[in-house]
Amino acid sequence: MKSAAAPPSLLVLRPRDGEDDQPVKPLEWGLMRRLFGYTGAVATKRNALLVLTVVRSAQLPAFSWLAASIINGPITARDTGALVLGLVAYGALALVTDGMFHFRQRYALEIGETVVNQLRAEVFARVQRQPMSFFHRVKLGRIISRVTSDIESVRVGIQDVLFVSVIQFGSMLFAAVVMAWSDWKMFLVVAGMAPVLWLINNRFRLQLSRLTRASSESFSRVTATLAESVGGMRITQGFVRQATNLGLFRSLLADHARYNIALARTSAVLTPLLELNSQFFIAILLLFGGWRVFEGDMTVGGLITFFLLANQFFAPIATIGTQYNQALVAMAGAERVFRLIDTPPEWVDDPTATDLPDPRAGKSQVTSDKEQDAAAGSGSWNLPLDTSHLPPAGGMRVEFRAVTFGYDPARPVLHDVSFTAAPGEMIALVGHTGSGKSSIINLVTKFYLPTQGEVLLDGREVRTITSRSLHRQLGLVQQTNFLFSGTVLENLRFSRPEATEDDVREAARQLDCLDQLEALPRGLATEVGERGAGLSLGQRQLICFVRALLADPRLVVLDEATSAIDAVTEARLQRALQRLLQGRTSFVVAHRLSTIRQAQQVLVLAAGRIIEKGTHADLLARRGHYAALYAQFTQVGETF
Ligand SMILES: Nc1ncnc2c1ncn2[C@@H]1O[C@H](COP(=O)(O)OP(=O)(O)OP(=O)(O)O)[C@@H](O)[C@H]1O
């Protein structure tokens, strides 16, 4: 069988990153106690369930005991009245047992759901608080598998393993006690067989759970690859890679099939083996029991009682084996989920940091993390912010003083960067790929902190400002124009959930694009697919502009799209951009000459340093790096 490591990807055979992906983990008291803590919200049901569980473990052997008693008593004595009484008792026991079973099932499911929901929400909340460096480091697939397969295995652990195991153990114990009490010699024979069954069962179940996990992982690779290849279909077709990709995809499918076949083979060995064993055990019981009946040491009725109880004793062994393996899988899942939850952010706001005052009317109140969480918990996203007016409230002053920065502090990508952006100024960042434009933006927005030097916003060092208060005054437009699935209106409101539809229309009107949005098939109610599919590039960019404008930001950060757009849309976008940026400080990673021309300052970057500064006209006149860059790009087309 092929190893689970190094699955092929559509690009290359990519090795898995070093994260521990152990399918199982030994039972650990600390983890169990922590998981148990999540049942606190349904403590009454949990306690009731524990009682129901203990009662049920006595009820199951009671059936066998009662059936045996009816055979040995009324049936052997041919006593009809006693038989009827016995059957009434049996029926009553059945009714009580199954009534309680109903509640056991219900409570177990509710408890499982409660724990799983809390864990998922906690993972989401923790992940949202991580700084951007976390998202560059941790793969999306990892986070998704924590929230899906790992938490699902925890659900099985909580919902089934504990309660089912207690019931099965209890049943075995009760059956054992009754057997030992009625005939201890026969009981010793039965007890001697149990370990053999346990060993066989355990050996195979462990293998089965490993294969099940390997199979589900290989399947996630199939689905992830499918999603990636559909997403990148244009590139695949453009570079005529269909055949290669199909080959790689087939190898992933073959990998998955191999695990499934191995799984089926192991099951096909285990099931008959278990059946053979129980038949073998029955034969031994018949031999030993028959001999004792011949010798007069045991009655036929006693032998029947024994058979019924022995069944009650053996049946749980296979179930407990399965539950035990599921517990090990749940432990491994819980450990990974908690590791993600416990990952401390590389940095957090300094505890002494305070809010950046907001000169915009009614916006000085920035909600704290706790208030936001409370709002989220109550299902309300309407934060106490009044941003109903749209005129800009003046830009932010941004200053870099001798800033050096590296994603890895040992390898700086920005060196000694200094500049000042006066309120309301537009700063265009220009430079070759990798020159540090996005890194400057990452510092202005406090998505990262400088390694050395100072970034000042309205005269305050960025570390002394809470991120939330800064981001409340920030409008972001990315090159990829990220839109969430939902309607255009919902996407527009993302920056200000309490905005009315009229506010949204007004913002779109200000950017002179309301007609374009209304012309969409269902106007503002048009559904936006994944990554904004169904909308043109220009439309997507306009939506992002309106979304940013709606937040009425004092600082706008824009990574201009590089893709070519037709001249009419281009002109519209430029006008919209001008309105969006008016009266606000803005940083634009500029790719269009028309944008650069609007800037009060152009910062020319090379290898993480500002090599030139000035307006477009000044820089051209200087005939330096910018002029050369300009010449180089205008030869190719009108984009930087
Ligand atoms: N998340 C990251 N982790 C580590 N290094 C990074 C990260 N992002 C960027 N870099 C590195 O920092 C340097 C500057 O990158 P940056 O993204 O700021 O350049 P850029 O001018 O915006 O490039 P582009 O025009 O291609 O977007 C590059 O050497 C890049 O490899």
Instruction: Encode pLDDT of 577-625 as tens digits.
Output: 888 888 899 999 988 787 888 899 999 999 999 999 999 999 989 888 8
| Conformational region of residue 481, where left means phi above 0, alpha means psi within -120 to 50, and beta covers everything else | left
How far is ligand 1, taken at its centre, from the CA of residue 571, in Å?
30
Distances (CA, A) of 92 to 51, 81, 87, 193, 457: 20, 17, 8, 34, 77
Which pLDDT score, from 0 to 100, does residue 433 have?
86
Domain limit, last residue, from 497, 524, 552:
552
Which pLDDT score, from 0 to 100, does residue 4 have?
41
CATH code assigned at 520: 3.40.50.300
Domain limit, last residue, from 342, 361, 383:
342
pLDDT at position 14 over 50: no
Q: Which of 274, 252, 143 is nearest to 208 (CA)?
A: 274
Which pLDDT score, from 0 to 100, does residue 493 have?
86
Cα-Cα-Cα-Cα dihedral sign, residues 445, 447, 452, 454: positive
Which pLDDT score, from 0 to 100, does residue 386 have?
38
Q: Which of 433, 451, 587 to mutate to test the pocket of ligand 1 (most atoms within 8 A of CB)?
A: 433
CATH code assigned at 221: 1.20.1560.10
Rounded distance between C-alpha atoms, residue 103 and residue 267, angstroms: 32
The answer to whether position 87 is within a domain reads yes
Contacts of 26 (CB under 8 A, 6+ apart): 328, 331
Asked if this assembly's ipTM is beyond 0.85, the reply is yes
How many other CB atoms are there within 10 angstroms of residue 470's CB atom? Answer: 25
Q: Whose CA is closest to atom 1 on ligand 1?
A: 136
Which pLDDT score, from 0 to 100, does residue 636 have?
60
Q: How confident is the model at residue 437 (pLDDT cuts 50, 70, 90)?
A: very high
Contacts of 225 (CB under 8 A, 6+ apart): 9, 10, 248, 249, 252
Q: What rounded mean pLDDT belongs to the chain?
A: 82
The average pLDDT across 57-71 equals 85
How far is ligand 1, taken at its centre, from the CA of residue 329, in Å?
40
How far is ligand 1, taken at its centre, from the CA of residue 430, in Å?
14
Report which ligand 1 atom has the smallest distance to the Cα of 429. 21
Cα-Cα-Cα-Cα dihedral sign, residues 329, 333, 336, 339: negative
The answer to whether position 516 is within a domain reads yes
pLDDT at position 432 over 80: yes
Which pLDDT score, from 0 to 100, does residue 448 have?
93
How far is ligand 1, taken at its centre, from the CA of residue 233, in Å?
26
Rounded distance between C-alpha atoms, residue 58 and residue 541, angstroms: 67
How far is ligand 1, taken at its centre, from the CA of residue 557, in Å?
16
φ, ψ of residue 79 in degrees (nearest 5): -100, 100
The answer to whether position 175 is within a domain reads yes
pLDDT at position 137 over 50: yes
Torsion angle (degrees, nearest 10) of CA 439, 442, 447, 448 = 30
The average pLDDT across 318-342 equals 87
Rounded distance between C-alpha atoms, residue 513 and residue 505, angstroms: 9
pLDDT at position 313 over 70: yes
The answer to whether position 348 is within a domain reads no
Rounded distance between C-alpha atoms, residue 611 and residue 601, angstroms: 13
- CB-based contact 185:291 (threshold 8 Å): no
Could you tell me what percent of the chain has a pLDDT over 70? Answer: 88
How far is ligand 1, taken at its centre, from the CA of residue 605, in Å?
12
Q: Whose CA is closest to atom 6 on ligand 1?
A: 407
Which pLDDT score, from 0 to 100, does residue 419 have?
95
DSSP state of 521: T
Q: Which of 346, 435, 442, 589 to mutate to test the pocket of ligand 1 (most atoms within 8 A of CB)?
A: 435
As for how many domains the chain has, the answer is 2
Torsion angle (degrees, nearest 10) of CA 144, 146, 148, 152 = 180
Report which ligand 1 atom has the smallest distance to the Cα of 559. 27
Which pLDDT score, from 0 to 100, does residue 452 have?
95
| pLDDT tens profile 345-354 | 888 888 888 8
Same domain, 315 and 167: yes
pLDDT-wise least confident of 46-55, 165-174, 345-354, 563-572: 563-572
pLDDT at position 10 over 80: no
The answer to whether position 35 is within a domain reads yes
Pocket lining for ligand 1, CB < 6 angstroms: 136, 407, 413, 431, 433-439
How far is ligand 1, taken at its centre, from the CA of residue 433, in Å?
8
Q: Which of 553, 580, 572 is nearest to 515 (CA)?
A: 572
Domain extent at residue 134 = 29-342
Domain limit, last residue, from 285, 318, 342:
342
Q: Whose CA is closest to atom 7 on ligand 1?
A: 407
Q: Which of 403, 432, 439, 445 to mutate to test the pocket of ligand 1 (most atoms within 8 A of CB)?
A: 439
Which pLDDT score, from 0 to 100, does residue 637 have?
56
The answer to whether position 562 is within a domain reads no
Contacts of 425 (CB under 8 A, 6+ apart): 395, 585, 586, 600, 601
Q: Whose CA is closest to atom 25 on ligand 1?
A: 433
pLDDT at position 29 over 70: yes
pLDDT-wise least confident of 59-68, 361-370, 446-455: 361-370
The sheet carrying 398-405 orders its strands as: 414-421, 398-405, 452-457, 460-461
pLDDT at position 382 over 90: no
How far is ligand 1, taken at its centre, from the CA of residue 437, in Å?
8
The answer to whether position 439 is within a domain reads no
Which pLDDT score, from 0 to 100, does residue 124 have?
92
Q: Whose CA is closest to atom 30 on ligand 1?
A: 434
The answer to whether position 392 is within a domain reads no
Rounded distance between C-alpha atoms, residue 573 and residue 598, angstroms: 13
Q: How confident is the model at residue 17 (pLDDT cuts 50, 70, 90)?
A: very low
How far is ligand 1, taken at its centre, from the CA of residue 580, in Å?
27
How far is ligand 1, taken at its centre, from the CA of residue 448, in Å?
13
